[in-house]
Amino acid sequence: MTALKAYSTEISRVLVLADRGKADVDDLVQRLEPFLRKRVSDVVVEGDLRGWCKAADKRGGVPVGEAPDLVVVLGGDGSILSAVHAFASCPVPILGVNFGRVGFLASVPTSEWRPALEEVLEGRSMIEPRTRLSVSITSGDEAPIHDIALNDVVLSRGSFQGMLSVGMEVDGHWVSDYRADGLIVATASGSTAHSLAAGGPILSPTMGGFVVTPICAHALSHRPVVVEPLSEIHLIMTECLGVVTLAVDGHGFYAVQAGDELTVKAHEIPYPLLSRQGSNPYRRLRDRLGWRGSFEAADIDLGPSKEAPLAGEGEVL
């Protein structure tokens, strides 16, 4: 797991990306904006988060003018993914305030926005370097298509098509031919998303490796595989009926056909997400997934006492 370090850069330009489609976001903007303007020289608030991010994505993740020192995202994990793609070519640290249902990426609860921002501005917040995936799609003699994912790349069949067959090699070594509804390659960040729903393991957030998870595999022996961070995964679409789609973080969608090849490896630059000092990723897992540490005494019948019986008690009559 990559060691965390403090984000101690002097901050003078802050971009706030607000998903105003979510309840209570406007109320927080009204409090957050004056808070920031008292502390930094340049604050820009964008209320149409998805529209702004789509426009930036079309520019290839290159910002117009000077890049901000900090991006504050008010939304859910999908909003964080949009912002990460908007700054794909020049990663800017992102602090996510969670207005979504889960919040693995948008790690700051709405009740903690003020102390979290104070920590960032005072150089006390921590950078969580999140591994990204670099994916290349090659189809015949056409020029390869390139994209970047923070969470995952997902190959999936159409609703009315049969299973697809995908061959996989890792570092030039053949692994297996999967026959399944699809295949997921996920980073540690994405291990709690689609891959988890398909039965994959949870990886520590800043872990460099990634996991390959089949979706409804025909062979029961096909299990998720965790791959080393420096490995290169090569996927070959050997057979498919109808439409097959490659989804990149649920944002970029590409049609894939038999004979196409995909190369997936770790991007050379991880994305810097910010978290509070002392933040515990395992507590975040417990909170988000509803895990319980133990049974409450009131919830379970412990049965008769195991203490030794007193004289005359417990004898067979």
pLDDT for residue 62 = 60
pLDDT for residue 171 = 97
Q: Report the candidate in 187, 204, 191 with the shortest Cα–Cα distance to residue 266.
A: 187
5-131+270-289 CATH, one of 3.40.50.10330, 3.40.50.1010, 1.10.275.10, 3.40.50.720: 3.40.50.10330
pLDDT for residue 292 = 75
- pTM beyond 0.85: the answer is yes
According to CATH, the superfamily of the domain at 133-266 is Probable inorganic polyphosphate/atp-NAD kinase; domain 2 (2.60.200.30)
DSSP string, 124-192: --EEEEE--EEEEEE-TTSPPEEEEESSEEEEEE-TTS--EEEEEEETTEEEEEEEESEEEEEETGGGG
Respond yes or no: is residue 77 known to be catalytic. yes
Distance of CA 92 to the CA centre of its chain: 16
pLDDT for residue 296 = 54
In the chain, CATH 3.40.50.10330 covers 5-131+270-289
- Please state, in angstroms and rounded to a whole number, the distance separating the CA atoms of residues 290 and 221: 29
In the chain, CATH 2.60.200.30 covers 133-266
Q: What pLDDT digit, counting tens, does each position of 223-275 carry?
A: 999 999 999 999 999 988 878 999 999 888 999 999 999 999 999 999 999 99
H-type alpha helices, the chain = 25-37, 49-58, 77-86, 113-121, 194-197, 281-289
pLDDT for residue 64 = 63
Name the DSSP class of 111: G
pLDDT for residue 291 = 84
- Please state, in angstroms and rounded to a whole number, the distance separating the CA atoms of residues 175 and 84: 32
| Phi and psi, residue 113, nearest 5° | -60, -40
Q: What pLDDT digit, counting tens, does each position of 20-60 carry?
A: 888 899 999 999 999 999 999 999 999 999 999 988 877 76
- In the set 77, 152, 249, 260, the catalytic residue is 77
Q: Which residues pair with 179 in a beta bridge?
A: 165
Q: Which parts of the chain register pLDDT below 70?
A: 1-3, 60-65, 293-317
- Please state, in angstroms and rounded to a whole number, the distance separating the CA atoms of residues 181 and 190: 19
pLDDT for residue 232 = 97
Residue 248: CB partners within 8 Å, gap ≥ 6? 135, 147, 148, 149, 153, 254
